[in-house]
Structure 1
């Protein structure tokens, strides 16, 4: 998710001072982003915000887990104001009281967002999303693969599957539960399916950049993956495609959250609304392939080339958000079980 998770580019903003009117506000926002594409995030999103508002932005980088741990450690004296995180880790922070609810009146651009992007609990909205499917080599497969081909004899040792800690891991586990069990909550069936697939798996990847490299070199023929990580390869003309799954269509999002206790709420909400605006959503889609949640945003051709109609309307294409409450209750146990029974 992400926005990349790799999901998906994630930012954390810290504001330390604010003065004047909204048009001439002065202050500093510390922005923490995923390391992936951080330079493009700065160019396409952060620098224009600085020019538009007069607010200085300092970037930080880090993964979801590390940044959530930092928020926990600093909950009594927050050092950041706004956090961009994958939906699962953002939901954890919401549950733990690390984030604050937002005033919809200060987020006019939220009205243009897809319904799935709006947070039903009033916390930070999604600003981008990614879709679970299968990435594959078009020079090795004559047709788009389906779930049952992941374990087929001709492709033994040429398949990669996501680990439970990577962005695609949880939606893939739920998809297996839906395909081979009674529904997405039937995780026992999903683990049985993973055990059957394991002998033919080359690797369980833990970073999406690792998967992109394996596909690019041709060591892997197909792999369940988020769509966003196929876009760069397709743009470079590599024989790679991505297909929606036949086994449960899930989307994950990246959310932008206001840190509870931030002394710079006004600047934080201003950035959140800016991130949802059409111009910013379009620049992000072009610069680092974040699919817009703003329904009025125009899509670059690369996104529709990879994801088809789901790049503009994932719900209409049959994709659904994962049940974050269910996942939060079980995620730690799944990671431990996966390490013990599958990857081990």
Structure 2
């Protein structure tokens, strides 16, 4: 009987020690305390979701023991949910314009760049569009001009060409509240002869453009419809959306203006208060890697920022691709834009509403 009791005592001691050891062990990155996959909530626009699920999210989930949940909507909607505390987002995709607003309102964690080694392989313009403490750009597109040479005798190669008197009531421009609105305002300043932004000259130049404008557009679909219906011959557009114009108007061309196109920068940031910062930084590193960048480029989803890609001419068609193109782009100071945008909107509405 004594030996049986001794055996039972030893067995109980082993069980207790094992329980203590398990309770004191830390869960590994990519799993919670129960060993289940970590839930990583990513806020994004929601376009091309099938592609991202298959080519980006699923491989990351498998490799890092993560379950990705999406929070979708436009920039403003998704930012508002975070500000109101009505979402549990870990990572957020935003244009650099909205990312700057998030930084200024304290919505993001600073990142540890040593956890993102793929930063070594991306363009300088993509490294720190909103400052070294915050997220990189995972794609850079171009804001240029779409035009249909079969509808006009004007050969468009520059921003200045949009001011041609031969284009009277034949173009559209983005509204000032759109992402590209401040870019076009800067283009107007450059057409006026300024190398740095001059607000008065920009608005005066827009006044001179007024006779050529059919209407302003707030969404790219409006611009596409105007091309399809033959209402316009030209209009500024982000290159990423030009395929929609080309599909409906095969004769249309995308022009990178002689003065320079504008960098359309989309970023990814870690949200303040996340419990998954390490995994979030692993995801940022993942989407900057050659494999994901190439898949997105070949599928015509996003223009790549990874400099190690070697795309064929066919693969690169329609993309903002190559160091020569990237280095030619004009990049706005989004801190300056946010500081002045309310004033520009007010002045636009007073002087220039279409």
Change in 2 beyond 3 A, CA 1:39/1:203? farther
Deviation of 1:336 (Å): 2.4
Instruction: Quote the residue 1:220 is aligned against.
Output: 232
Structure 1 SS opposite 2:39: strand
1:56 lines up with 2:56 in the alignment: no
Q: 1:331 aligns with which of 337, 341, 346?
A: 341
* CA distance in structure 2 between the aligned counterparts of 1:47 and 1:216, rounded to whole angstroms: 38
* CA distance in structure 2 between the aligned counterparts of 1:42 and 1:191, rounded to whole angstroms: 44
Deviation per CA, 1:86-134, whole angstroms, max 9, x where unpaired? 0011011112211111111210111101111111422100111121211
Deviation per CA, 1:11-50, whole angstroms, max 9, x where unpaired? xxxxxxx943559971112222214434433343223322
Deviates more, 1:77-86 or 1:108-117: 77-86
Change in 2 beyond 3 A, CA 1:305/1:138? farther
Instruction: Quote the residue 2:273 is aligned against.
Output: 261
Asked if 2 retains the 8 angstrom alpha-carbon contact of 1:136 and 1:145, the reply is no
Asked if 2 retains the 8 angstrom alpha-carbon contact of 1:291 and 1:311, the reply is yes
* CA distance in structure 2 between the aligned counterparts of 1:335 and 1:72, rounded to whole angstroms: 23
Q: 2:78 aligns with which of 67, 84, 90?
A: 67
Structure 1 SS opposite 2:215: strand
Deviation per CA, 1:134-155, whole angstroms, max 9, x where unpaired? 1111322463343333233332
Change in 2 beyond 3 A, CA 1:95/1:205? same
* CA distance in structure 2 between the aligned counterparts of 1:159 and 1:331, rounded to whole angstroms: 24
Instruction: Quote the residue 2:125 is aligned against.
Output: 116
Instruction: Quote the residue 2:351 is aligned against.
Output: 341
For 1:89-238, what aligned pairs fall within 5 Å after superposition? 89-119=98-128, 120-141=131-152, 143-234=155-246, 238=250
Deviation of 1:297 (Å): 2.2
* CA distance in structure 2 between the aligned counterparts of 1:138 and 1:299, rounded to whole angstroms: 28
Structure (1 or 2) with the larger CA radius of gyration: 2
* CA distance in structure 2 between the aligned counterparts of 1:53 and 1:112, rounded to whole angstroms: 22
Structure 2 SS opposite 1:247: coil
* CA distance in structure 2 between the aligned counterparts of 1:235 and 1:53, rounded to whole angstroms: 39
**TM-score, scaled relative to structure 1:** 0.84
Asked if 1 retains the 8 angstrom alpha-carbon contact of 2:92 and 2:268, the reply is yes
Deviation per CA, 1:272-321, whole angstroms, max 9, x where unpaired? 111111111112223343111110124464674346xx521256652132
Instruction: Quote the residue 1:44 is aligned against.
Output: 55
Deviation of 1:256 (Å): 0.4
Gaps of 5+ in 2: 1-25
